[in-house]
A and B are shown apart, each in its own frame.
Chain A
């Protein structure tokens, strides 16, 4: 049915994606997003490409009970990424991706604190995986 290994011997992903340096993001979310991206794309010693990600998140209360208790919060994450050639900073490929994770607020206060932090970490893993998958799929668009 036409599928070939994305990281096969002569695949675009293999040639290109191992030479990406992910730009640093100086926030806690950024730490988790960059770490997951480096796990999926590798941390290159002699990078040819730079990957920058612009990240925005917002929280929204949902599942409001009849006595006005917001029992769940969803964290929405929007990531816009751009892959540039380090030699001349020309942007070769860019894209957007979005997702959300939820956490319950019906537990005690410390459960809400821990759940929110865990939800943010999970959201960063999801966004990083989506960016990595999109880069794998579109690696063919990149020059040799």
Chain B
């Protein structure tokens, strides 16, 4: 059993296009942020992020997404892993996802719940903090 948290975003996928769909979209000219509101769904490669509200931050050039700030109950799924939390920040540039609030990671029989989870997609490592509870189903790998 691998403890790899890759959310299906392998290095090659990281440049895959990010599609976003939502009920409503509004753009804040001043900050350059776009706010997707209501059943927001973001996919990149075979990773799918759903949330109630997502702020999308573009890079200075304004044509690539730099950050996704999701809140109101976030769920990230990909292949055999799934994670949920109250909020999630996906920094596309650095390949780091920070999830906070009732974090729960389900991975092939292992279930980890914690206060905070930081996932580094580059080296597929994850760090959990707060009273972390891990339920292992040994021997089924």
Q: Do chains A and B directly touch (beta carbons under 8 Å) in the complex?
A: no
Binding site for A on B (CB under 8 A): none
